[in-house]
Amino acid sequence: MRPEEKLLEMGITLPQKRAKGGNYVSCVQTGNLLYLSGSLSYDTIGKVGDTLSIEEGYQAAKEAILYALTTIKEEVGELSRVKKFVKLLGLINTTYDFTSQAKVMNGASDLLVELFGEEMGSHARTAVGVMLPRGAAVEIDVVVEVE
């Protein structure tokens, strides 16, 4: 089943691309690798560990990875051209003492594995607490291999 069909089966629609916030491009391809600029959780704002729970952060990570999928689809035409998610960098807007960034990033990782399967969806990952633009809860940088 194509990833777009699987998304529909899951009841998920890819979001519309948002306007850029600066002088950069959304995606750069070199060889078979796509390097995406950060994808934000535009609709989920706040700090995990303060105004947001871990579960709300988990959902924000899903939201951010869906924006990344929108960028990938725009760049290569269809998500079935994805061969492997290589690396995610998860930036989570958290309080100073919050230490469960990995649990928040599982929202993105779980969705990729469910959508693309273990072999293609599993990836290396880093998750850190930071301050984010627009007050977003999560920003995710993605490196993905495509056909």
What CATH number has the domain bearing residue 73?
Answer: 3.30.1330.40
Task: Provide the pLDDT for residue 50.
Answer: 97
Number of domains in the chain: 1
4, part of any domain: no
Provide the residue range defining the domain that includes 111: 29-146
pTM: 0.95
Q: Examine residue 6 and state whether it is found in any structural domain, yes or no.
A: no
> Which amino acid, residue 4?
E
- The answer, yes or no, to whether residue 20 has pLDDT greater than 90, is no
Domain-located, residue 23: no
**What confidence tier does 86 reach under pLDDT thresholds 50, 70, 90?**
very high
